[in-house]
Structure 1
Amino acid sequence: MRLSLTFGGSVLLCAAALCIALTGPVATSGGSAHAGGTLEERKLPMRFTWVACQPNCRGWVGAVGIVTADTPREFDEFARTRQLGGAAVVLDSSGGSVNDAIALGRRWRNLGMLTTVGTSFDPRNGDRAGVVPQAYCESMCVFLLLAGKVRYVPDGAHVRVHQIWMGDRADDARAASYSAQDLMIVERDIGRLAKYTFDMGGTGDLLSLALSVPPWEDLRELSPAELRLTNLITTDAVAEVFSPNDSNANAAVADASAKIQDRLTSEIAGAEKPLPAPKSTKTAEAAVLPTGGVAAADRK
């Protein structure tokens, strides 16, 4: 799948609903997790980071970028040395491959993982770690969000949907030509996506909303009511996703929100500028045509 990106909206920094306050040091593995830098990273192949915190939080997985054919394998490698059962995944992604995202989502559900949208805040000067809700989950990322056993979408996050399309023709979809093989690939992947949606507890409304938006239109941002209609939200309690080890972490959320917002409002607001659409990302199962061409179903 492929995404066409449009950016906008106000910046909401570490609202009490999502900023996770931690006492003690925070360690990140697999690369540093931070808020502003993900603007470009979310258009690159997905990478995973582990934010470990002591003593009042178990930690979480940051998943930033586009799902490619390598992503499921890379997640397996990332998970091999970690106990990720029941852990939270914080998503900031512009989508990616249909079938590889489905494979990754099924891995997350098998691990009983929990999902939300945001970018991890890399603590500096002794500040507590947290998650900035101003992030984007678009196209196939929405179906990764659906993979969570528990799903939370904070105020300030953007969840956007779009149609499946041929990635190599999505930029000028109406002018392109299509073969019967192309249509077969698209319809096959829609069927796989429909089965996955229902397996994950999503509704037909999610498929209806996504498949109604052609690639020559802007992505459709889901309203709070639509997030509930589609079952993308299962809880309004952030503690159900981040599972703090004791009640002190919950009490510290509001305190950390104020500290981080005071220091970062101007910094992040300046970073959140409209970005151009990323290049097409192909599905894993590209079909070789009789002429030697390659077709793949993507989401724009």
Structure 2
Amino acid sequence: MKLVRSLKFVGKALLCAGALRLALAFVTAAPGTAAQAAAQLEERKLPMRFSWVACEPNCRGWISAVGIVTSDTPKDFDEFARGRQLSGAAVVLDSSGGSVNDAIAVGRRWRKLGLRTTVGSTIQVPTASGPQAAIAPQAYCESMCVFLLLAGSVRYVPEGAHVRVHQIWMGDRADDARAASYTAQDMMIVERDIGRLAKFTFDMGGTGDLLSLALNVPPWENLHELSRQELVLTNLITTEAVAELLPPLDTAPAAVAALKSKPLQERVASEVPLAPAMLLPVAAKQAPTKTADASLPTGGQAAAAAPQR
């Protein structure tokens, strides 16, 4: 019996430190942040894990989604969501991709719930009142993670976040794609999943530019990091106002609605008062990573884990 494998978007990740405060403002990194970043880097190599991060009284909180999308991820998210009021909540992504079809399934669940999406990693920041949860903006959303980002009803990408794309490929042969052999069945799977991904992209409000940028980068080349202009062109950014991602609990609905009614270019600064910002120094930009680094078995009937570089 032939094994039908699902395609995967996968990529290598490097995690830098930083912080986005609960009060929705960027803050400087604190001692211990580097250790937290290292721990997050290890988590990104594991199957995706969901956790709820509370930030009262400053905001409602957010969902931390860290790791690779596997065949278990849709079920894991359903179990996480059971009994929780997640409608309209924010998802903070730190992922190097994973299974195409399973990510599409999760993305459709998120859109149905009206979840908002961003890129970052949850860390703890020391404050005068004790440790508080914060979001480090210099995280990575690569490969199929980019399409999970697209699933958000509101999409915010902070400065310092890295959003990278490349082609879909057979996950078990992405490590040395040019030397591998492919059958007609393999080509059928590739074309089938490209069609599914295209439909998902347009259903979520993305543009053909996103597909074009991704499908032009083979797995033996560096991932393409989307510029700020490309993030807007592909509709991966719908707002520059942090308050639309994580509106303060005391923000009147009308104030946030007024932000949404304005064109993106006019919403660079929020009209909702925010706490004073202490800007995070942006770390030096890392060189683009190679594709196919963190392959895991995904998409239903996958067998043993693919080798890692």
TM-score by length of 2: 0.77
Paired residues for 1:20-39 under 5 Å:
20-21=22-23, 35-39=37-41
Which of 99, 102, 111 is the matching residue for 1:100? 102
Change (3 A) 1:6 1:110: closer
The gaps in structure 1 that reach 5 residues or longer are 23-33, 288-293, 295-300
Give the SS at the match of 1:96.
strand
Code of the residue aligned with 1:197 in structure 2: it is T
Paired residues for 1:189-200 under 5 Å:
189-200=193-204
Distance in 2 of aligned mates of 1:220 and 1:136:
12
In the alignment, is the contact (CA less than 8 A) between 2:49 and 2:67 conserved in 1?
yes
In the alignment, is the contact (CA less than 8 A) between 1:91 and 1:115 conserved in 2?
yes
Shift of 1:191: 0.5
Shift of 1:101: 0.3
Match of 2:188 in 1: 184
Shift of 1:4: 3.0
Shift of 1:121: 2.1
Paired residues for 1:264-275 under 5 Å:
none
Give the SS at the match of 2:79.
helix
Larger RCO (alpha carbons 8 Å, 6+ apart): 1
In the alignment, is the contact (CA less than 8 A) between 2:167 and 2:218 conserved in 1?
yes
Distance in 2 of aligned mates of 1:114 and 1:131:
15
RMSD over aligned CA atoms reads 2.9
Give the SS at the match of 1:172.
coil
Which of 111, 117, 138 is the matching residue for 1:115? 117
Give the SS at the match of 2:51.
strand
Count of residue pairs brought into register by the alignment: 263
Distance in 1 of aligned mates of 2:9 and 2:122:
24
Give the SS at the match of 2:245.
helix
Which of 264, 274, 281 is the matching residue for 1:251? 274
Task: Please tell me whether residue 175 in structure 1 is matched to residue 179 in structure 2.
Answer: yes
Paired residues for 1:11-160 under 5 Å:
13-14=18-19, 18-21=20-23, 35-124=37-126, 126-160=130-164
Distance in 2 of aligned mates of 1:252 and 1:128:
15
Distance in 2 of aligned mates of 1:70 and 1:83:
22
| % same residue | 69
Match of 1:4 in 2: 11
Match of 2:29 in 1: none
Change (3 A) 1:7 1:54: closer
Give the SS at the match of 2:175.
helix
Shift of 1:80: 0.6
Task: Please tell me whether residue 163 in structure 1 is matched to residue 167 in structure 2.
Answer: yes
Change (3 A) 1:275 1:2: same
Shift of 1:250: 4.9
Shift of 1:284: 1.3
In the alignment, is the contact (CA less than 8 A) between 2:23 and 2:248 conserved in 1?
no
Give the SS at the match of 1:75.
helix
Distance in 2 of aligned mates of 1:46 and 1:278:
16
Distance in 2 of aligned mates of 1:285 and 1:198:
25
Match of 2:306 in 1: none
Shift of 1:253: 5.1
Match of 1:284 in 2: 299
Give the SS at the match of 1:121.
strand
TM-score by length of 1: 0.80
Deviations 1:140-171 (A, max 9, x none): 00000000000000000000001011111111
